[in-house]
C-alpha cells in the first residue's frame, strides 16, 4: 500500500470523475498529490465535490501532502505555469497522469451535432484542444523536467472510443486515438532517460459527467466484463502503471474492452 511513498504525482482534471479516483488511490499508496482542474469550482459541476481545494484537503487526511492548482491546459502558457507551480511547491514531479479531457463542446456539455461533418468547427477545436493538445502540452513541460532528472512515469488517458469505429463522437475518438500513437512515440524518445510512458484507454465508466450526459441501458444479466465500469476498476490499472511492477513497461496502451 505504500509502494509510492515519497513520490510526487500530478493528476490533471483530478477534482472530479476518474481523475479524483486516481488521486485518492495514489495518496493511499503513499504519494503526495497535486490536484488539478480548470478552476476551483469545476468539482461542483456534477456535485462530485465542493471545490478542488476541498478534494486536496480530503487527500491530506490520508497522511500525504496535497495541494490544488488551477489552470486551463488547452493554453500552453497555463499548462507550463501549472507544471512550474507544482515543481515549486513539491520540489519535483515523479508521476504525471494526463487525465483531463472529455467529449466537451465549445459552449455545450457535448458537441451537438457530434459527427464528422455537421459538427461545428468550434466544437472540433474544443474537443481536440481538451484531449490531444492538453496531453501534448503537459507531456512536453513535465517531460523536460523528468528528462533532466532522468526519472519519471507518465500515464496518458485515452478512451476505448479511440480503438473502435464510431458514429457519434468521431472527433473525440480521433483525438483519443492520437494519444495512443503519441504515447508510443514519446516513450521511444524518453527511453534513454529511464522514463516510462504508457496509456490507458478506459471503458465507459460511471462518473458524475457520464451519468449527466448519457442514458444508461439496463445491465441486468450481463457479466462483470460487459457492464459499465466503476472508477476503481480503471484506477487499478493506472496504479499498476504508476507502480514498480510496470518498471520495464513503456510505450504501451492498455485498452479496456467492453
pLDDT tens for 138-196 read: 999 999 999 999 999 999 999 999 999 999 999 999 999 999 999 999 999 999 999 99
DSSP 55-78: HHHHHHTTTS-EEEEE--TTSHHH
1 part of a folded domain: no
188 part of a folded domain: yes
33 part of a folded domain: yes
CA gyration radius for the chain? 17
Considering 75, 172, 181, 206, which one is annotated as catalytic?
Answer: 172
pLDDT tens for 98-125 read: 999 999 999 998 999 999 999 999 999 9
Is this model's pTM higher than 0.85 or not?
yes
Place of cell 472530479: 16
Strands of 152-157's sheet, edge to edge? 66-70, 32-37, 8-11, 95-98, 152-157, 195-201, 253-255
Average pLDDT rounded to a whole number, residues 132-136: 98
Place of cell 500515464: 155
Identify the CATH number of the domain in which residue 62 sits.
3.40.50.720
The three cell numbers of residue 202 are 478506459
120 part of a folded domain: yes
39 part of a folded domain: yes
Range of the domain at 59: 8-255
184 part of a folded domain: yes
C-alpha torsion sign, points 17, 199, 28, 191? negative
Number of domains the chain contains: 1
pLDDT tens for 62-96 read: 999 999 999 999 999 999 999 999 999 999 999 99
Which of 198, 202, 201, 203 is CA-nearest to residue 245? Answer: 198
d(CA 208, CA 45): 9
258: DSSP letter: -
pLDDT band at 207 (very low <50, low <70, confident <90, very high): confident
d(CA 3, CA 248): 16
44 part of a folded domain: yes
Q: Give yes or no: 172 in active site.
A: yes
What pLDDT sits at residue 258?
65
3 part of a folded domain: no
Amino acid at each position: 500500500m505504500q509502494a509510492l511513498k515519497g513520490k510526487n504525482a500530478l493528476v490533471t482534471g483530478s477534482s472530479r470523475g476518474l481523475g479524483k479516483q486516481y488521486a485518492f488511490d495514489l495518496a493511499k499508496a503513499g504519494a503526495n498529490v497535486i490536484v488539478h482542474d480548470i478552476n476551483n469550482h469545476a468539482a461542483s459541476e456534477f456535485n462530485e465535490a465542493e471545490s478542488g481545494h476541498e478534494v486536496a484537503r480530503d487527500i491530506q487526511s490520508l497522511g500525504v501532502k496535497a495541494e490544488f492548482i488551477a489552470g486551463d491546459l488547452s493554453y500552453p502558457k497555463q499548462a507550463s505555469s501549472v507544471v512550474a507551480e507544482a515543481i515549486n511547491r513539491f520540489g519535483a514531479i515523479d508521476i504525471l497522469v494526463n487525465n483531463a479531457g472529455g467529449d466537451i463542446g465549445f459552449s455545450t456539455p457535448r458537441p451537438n451535432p457530434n459527427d464528422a461533418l455537421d459538427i461545428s468547427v468550434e466544437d472540433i477545436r474544443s474537443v481536440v484542444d481538451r484531449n490531444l493538445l492538453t496531453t501534448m502540452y503537459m507531456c512536453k513541460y513535465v517531460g523536460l523536467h523528468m528528462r533532466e532528472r532522468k526519472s519519471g512515469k507518465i500515464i496518458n488517458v485515452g478512451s476505448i472510443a479511440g480503438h473502435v469505429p464510431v458514429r457519434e463522437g468521431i472527433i473525440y475518438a480521433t483525438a483519443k486515438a492520437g494519444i495512443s500513437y503519441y504515447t508510443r512515440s514519446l516513450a521511444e524518445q524518453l527511453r534513454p532517460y529511464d522514463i516510462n510512458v504508457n496509456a490507458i484507454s478506459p471503458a465507459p465508466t460511471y462518473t458524475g459527467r457520464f451519468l449527466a450526459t448519457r442514458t444508461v441501458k439496463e445491465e441486468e444479466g450481463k457479466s462483470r466484463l460487459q457492464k459499465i465500469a466503476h472508477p476503481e476498476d480503471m484506477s487499478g490499472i493506472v496504479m499498476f502503471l504508476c507502480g514498480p511492477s510496470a518498471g520495464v513497461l513503456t510505450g504501451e496502451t492498455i485498452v479496456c474492452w467492453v
